[in-house]
């Protein structure tokens, strides 16, 4: 049977507990009881994301997220969705730079089904993976790219800013969606090798949270996952180390059919899991986290030069995090005036720091967001996996709120002064252009050219 330790509520955990276990094949298991409602969440994080990909094969991690729903040895076609939803549950999967996760929330009496389904595809997906399913999901991902990136206003902003903020060859230079060319180039053999390397129990963390019997749950996990062999062929991701600041302003102007001019920027910030990252999160919350923030008050309410202004943190563990600024201008306002106002507010904040009222409000806002995540079984399961995979200790998820509340105003000011500067950002400026002549687009040559550009 798996080995574990007794749960004890840590200071600042709000009484929440979690126990940790490990199977002989290396699968890490985290359990957290919560009998408030008769549901249970299953969350499985694989330690693989786009940062593990190599040049010429970007998008494989995200493609595999889709392939994992294409059937396995004992579950054909769309059966995973059909079985979970037919049992009254919900499910999905996502891919990021640093992980791929799969999750189900089930009525308590259907928990065993979710565990069996996850184990079946971890252990036997290759039995069902063939050229037909590969082509099917390749097309799905390519359409997703068109719909979410290529054919929507500002859709490629995230991809462009990431490519600017992380230099060529850096593991975070490309986004999880991958390129059309690389998706087309991926072979069935590539997918099979990718699965064998990364979809192994010793490269995963499984959390189960909710109305569970821990002994019974562990017995099911051992029954279904215990016989899956481990795999030792995984290479560590490429080094994501970079200097603390960019050292100069990087800039790109995009002329596209967008509703309004926009100023977007990415600032290089401290790695996730550090006290400095929590301080940066508070700084960005004061500056751009909602309608009470400084940038919203300055640009939207006072100057009326923007219709929206936000600032948020993309937390990353294996590379510097990014602070994301997004301002949409109003009317015919020029981006230059927006940028001047932003720099004035950042300089003032770096010099003076947050007021006591701003600190209290920002900490309360982040506390509420954390508690909202931990307050649901699905959110807690995800956070337990996150801290286990990225930081080695799922218990840290239960005390994260306390660490944010422990940050001082001086720490917030210091991180802002060190990082929120013009020489530490990648800037993207959107300038609207007139829509293309729709009559001309009817012409076959123009339509072909447009379709080719989308690829």
Helices 275-288 and 409-419, axial angle in degrees (round to 10)? 80
User: Residue 244 to residues 174, 207, 324: CA-CA distances in angstroms?
Assistant: 20, 34, 16
Backbone dihedral angles phi then psi of residue 151, each to the nearest 5 degrees: -115, 25
Tell me if 334 sits within 8 A of 284, measured CB to CB: no
Q: Is 439 helix (H, G, I), strand (E, B) or coil?
A: helix
Q: How many degrees, rounded to 5, is the angle at CA 19 between CA 216 and CA 28?
A: 85
Question: Pairing between strand 262-269 and 250-256?
Answer: unpaired
65 is catalytic: yes
Taking alpha carbons only, the member of 45, 52, 188 closest to residue 126 is 188
Angle at 227 between CA 115 and CA 189, to 5 degrees: 90
Instruction: Please tell me whether residue 425 adopts helix, strand or coil conformation.
Output: strand
Strands (E), 244-305: 250-256, 262-269
d(CA 219, CA 341): 60
CA distances from 131 to 58, 143, 193 (A): 19, 18, 14
Catalytic residue (choose from 20, 33, 53, 65) = 65
Pairing of strands 250-256, 425-432: parallel
Rg of the chain on CA atoms, in Å: 23
Cα dihedral sign, 414-416-417-418:
positive
How big is the CA angle at 67 (ends 185 and 193), to the nearest 5 degrees?
Answer: 60
Q: Biggest alpha carbon distance in the chain? A: 70
Q: Which residues are catalytic?
A: 65
């Amino acid at each position: 049977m798996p080995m574990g330790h007794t749960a004890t509520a840590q200071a600042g955990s709000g009484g929440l507990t979690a126990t940790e276990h490990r199977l002989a094949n290396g699968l890490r298991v985290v359990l957290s009881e919560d009998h408030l409602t008769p549901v249970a969440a299953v969350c499985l994080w694989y330690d693989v994301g786009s940062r593990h990909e190599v040049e010429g094969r970007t998008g494989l991690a995200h493609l595999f997220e889709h392939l994992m729903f294409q059937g396995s040895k004992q579950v054909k076609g769309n059966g995973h969705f059909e079985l979970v939803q037919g049992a009254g549950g919900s499910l999905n999967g996502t891919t990021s730079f640093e992980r791929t996760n799969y999750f189900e929330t089930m009525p308590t009496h259907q928990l065993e089904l979710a565990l069996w389904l996850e184990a079946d595809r971890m252990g036997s997906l290759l039995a069902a993976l063939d050229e037909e399913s590969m082509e099917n999901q390749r097309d799905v991902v390519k359409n997703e790219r068109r719909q979410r990136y290529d054919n929507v206003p500002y859709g490629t902003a995230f991809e462009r800013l990431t490519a600017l903020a992380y230099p060529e060859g850096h593991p975070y230079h490309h986004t999880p969606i991958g390129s059309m060319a690389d998706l087309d180039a991926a072979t069935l053999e590539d997918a099979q090798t990718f699965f064998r390397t990364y979809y192994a129990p010793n490269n995963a963390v499984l959390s189960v949270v909710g109305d569970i019997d821990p002994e019974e749950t562990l017995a099911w996990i051992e029954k279904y996952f215990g016989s899956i062999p481990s795999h030792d062929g995984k290479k560590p991701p490429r080094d994501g180390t970079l200097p603390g600041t960019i050292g100069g302003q990087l800039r790109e102007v995009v002329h596209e059919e967008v509703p309004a001019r926009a100023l977007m920027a990415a600032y290089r910030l401290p790695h996730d899991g550090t006290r400095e990252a929590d301080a940066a999160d508070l700084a960005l919350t004061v500056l751009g986290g909602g309608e009470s923030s400084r940038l919203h008050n300055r640009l939207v309410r006072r100057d009326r030069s923007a219709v929206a202004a936000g600032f948020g943190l993309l937390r990353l563990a294996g590379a510097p995090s990014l602070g994301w600024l997004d301002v949409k201008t109003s009317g015919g306002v020029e981006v230059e005036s927006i940028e001047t106002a932003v720099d004035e507010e950042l300089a003032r904040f770096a010099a003076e720091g947050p007021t006591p009222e701003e600190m209290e409000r920002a900490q309360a806002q982040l506390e509420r967001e954390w508690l909202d995540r931990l307050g649901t079984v699905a959110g807690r399961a995800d956070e337990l996996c996150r801290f286990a995979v990225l930081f080695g200790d799922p218990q840290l998820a239960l005390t994260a709120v306390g660490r944010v509340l422990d940050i001082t105003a001086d720490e917030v000011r210091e991180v802002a002064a060190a990082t929120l500067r013009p020489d530490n950002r990648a800037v993207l400026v959107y300038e609207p252009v007139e829509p293309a002549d729709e009559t001309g687009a009817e012409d076959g040559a123009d339509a072909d050219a447009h379709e080719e550009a989308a690829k």
